[in-house]
Chains A and B, each alone.
Chain A
Amino acid sequence: MELHQVRYFLAVASTLNFTRAAEMCNVTQPALTKGVQKLEQELGGELIYRERQLTHLTDLGKAVLPMLERALASTEAVRRRARQFQQKEVAPLTIGLAPSISASLVLEPIAEIRKFVPGLHVELREEPPSRLVELLLEGEINVALVGDLDDTPERIDDWALFAERYVAVLAPSHELADRPVIAMEALREATILDRSYCDVAPKFHRLFFPDAPPHHNHRSCRDLHLQHLAAAGFGIVLAPEHMPRLPSLKALPIEGDPVWREVRLLAVQGRRYSPALDAFVKVARLHDWSLHTGSPLQTKHHSHLEATGVSA
């Protein structure tokens, strides 16, 4: 397929009008129609129902639209980058973080793209995951990192970055702190500090407290506050492994590593990527996240043997 064919199709998809799409692409309508037809031949079916007053996408058109939007956004972002580099424009990038995601995770990717986008201006916003999705759709943030999602809303691209386990974070003076691992039974008896908006709380409740919710004496929406409480001996924080800890705390694995979650990257489908956003999404999808969790976890559910087979 060719880039101009994709551009023509995306213009028709956004306007649902061949005349306006041709104007948008600065070509004649026959040229645009021919380009779309050629793309349809290659993709193996019609992308657009051409009905006089009711031009709309076919199922195939709907299926390939997000992919082609991303491919085009990816190529355009690089071209705009060259111009913006010369003009030294400010490149804003607003990253949303769920409360259970530490900013420490995004520092290396940001440092990497700052080398190529000199006007980079980063803003970090912490909000509960459902609010982050709203902010993405409203255009208030460009990208978000969240934990497990129940379901991904429409119009949101969603990439799993890595899986990580939850560990028990506690003061060295805590009665469970001298064990190599903490048994689930011991956790059931202990005071657990409650994290508001915790995305894995339902998993913990199902596993640890199937009959009744745990009794929490203390809670906060901020991990740092919870850590201060734990350091002062108020209880145990169940925290994602990547979360940086106060020096006065230690982290212990939970027996059998029963609770895992995936950290996911979200962006809005079909929206024009700025050069900074494009670079961030690309770097994030290739970053070695195991450096934050101490173990290569990304493909634990997938066979590594695929690469050695002989097939075509």
Chain B
Amino acid sequence: MSDHLTRSLNQVRNELLAGLSDADRESYLFLVDWLRRTDVASHALQVGDTAPDFLLPDAHGRLHSSEHLRGEGPLVVSFYRGGWCPFCNAELRALQALKAEFDSLKANLVVLSPETRDLPRQLQRQLNLDLTMLADVDHGVAISYGVLFRVPDETKAHYAGQGYDFAHRHGSTEWMLPIPATFVIDQDGVVRGAFVEPDFTIRQEPSDILAELRQLAGPHAKDASASDE
């Protein structure tokens, strides 16, 4: 656990990239180039946009409402690709390592996965997570946040060759994935932070998310103290 407190996600990324096979590296470079060329990230919600609300089940089939979650404090929504992606798992571990700090800022953090069935439960057990992992069943939230894309055929062939069975994982034969992205949403449902990077190996450092949350809390805290006077 301390490992994830001392090493940045960028350092973990470099190690993971160094461990890629030639075929994986080629596939990675192709997909990132494709995502940039098709400008998929341009559809994503931006700071100032209103975030669509959602009602999604967690890994145990319990429903969570975004309205309720952001009623308790700022809401951090993080999209990830799935338990098969080592960069996603590194991000989950890093978020887990700082979960207490999210809690202390009274921020609700939810990670949204396109995976269904018992896969989120398995992943929580494997990585020993107590994060709230929600299943974006049928990608409804990813599409409304503007981060969904259809996996190009070349990448699909590569992933299928690796044995990733998305039909089983997503409950759909259409290969759709979100671009990993992190949104900080205030209590009114307005996006106050948006990190969307087509290079899916690059994730927002959890410490940067915490900094955004502190900044978000700042003016509110001042308002509160002003009203006390």
The chain A residues found within 8 Å of chain B, CB to CB, are 1-3, 6, 41-44, 63-64, 66-67, 70-75, 78-79, 81-82, 108-109, 112-113, 115-116, 159, 161, 275, 278-279, 281-288, 290, 296, 298-299, 302-304, 306-312
Q: Is the pair B40, A310 in contact by a Cβ cutoff of 8 Å? A: no
Which 5 residue pairs across A and B have the least CB separation, nearest first? A74-B140, A67-B174, A287-B61, A312-B28, A307-B83
Bound-complex Cα distance A108 to B57 (A):
13
The residue that A71 contacts in the complex, of B16, B135, B148, with Cβ under 8 A, is B148
Q: Is the pair B172, A67 in contact by a Cβ cutoff of 8 Å? A: yes
Q: Is the pair A286, B172 in contact by a Cβ cutoff of 8 Å? A: no
Contact flags B1-41 to A (C-beta < 8 A → 1, else 0) = 00000000000000011011100110110010000001010
Nearest Cβ in chain A — how far from B86, in angstroms? 5
Bound-complex Cα distance A303 to B164 (A):
9
Bound-complex Cα distance A284 to B116 (A):
10
* A81 closest partner in B (C-beta): B55
Segment at the interface with A among B70-78, B121-129, B203-211, B218-226: B121-129
Bound-complex Cα distance A294 to B56 (A):
26
Supply 10 A–B pairs (Cβ within 8 Å), ascending by A. A67-B138, A71-B143, A72-B143, A74-B137, A75-B141, A281-B137, A283-B61, A285-B57, A288-B60, A303-B163
A75: chain B residues within 8 A (beta carbon): 52, 54, 140-141, 143-144
Q: Is the pair B150, A279 in contact by a Cβ cutoff of 8 Å? A: no
Known contacts being A298-B118, A309-B84, A311-B21, is A78 close to B55, with CB within 8 Å? yes
Bound-complex Cα distance A275 to B53 (A):
13
Q: Is the pair B146, A2 in contact by a Cβ cutoff of 8 Å? A: yes
Q: Does B89 contact A (CB under 8 A)?
A: yes
In the complex, which of the residues B84, B85, B117, B163 has the most CB atoms of chain A within 10 Å of its own CB atom? Answer: B117
A79: chain B residues within 8 A (beta carbon): 52-53
Nearest Cβ in chain B — how far from A291, in angstroms? 10
Nearest Cβ in chain B — how far from A136, in angstroms? 17
Q: Does B102 contact A (CB under 8 A)?
A: no
Bound-complex Cα distance A290 to B118 (A):
9
Bound-complex Cα distance A3 to B84 (A):
27
Bound-complex Cα distance A310 to B201 (A):
12
A115: chain B residues within 8 A (beta carbon): 63
Bound-complex Cα distance A275 to B146 (A):
22
In the complex, which of the residues B118, B119, B141 has the most CB atoms of chain A within 10 Å of its own CB atom? Answer: B118
Residues 103-128 (chain B) with a chain A CB within 8 angstroms: 116-123, 126
Residues 143-177 (chain B) with a chain A CB within 8 angstroms: 143-144, 146, 148-150, 152-153, 162-165, 168, 171-174, 176
Known contacts being A1-B148, A279-B63, A283-B63, is A296 close to B84, with CB within 8 Å? no
A74: chain B residues within 8 A (beta carbon): 137-141
Q: Does B59 contact A (CB under 8 A)?
A: yes
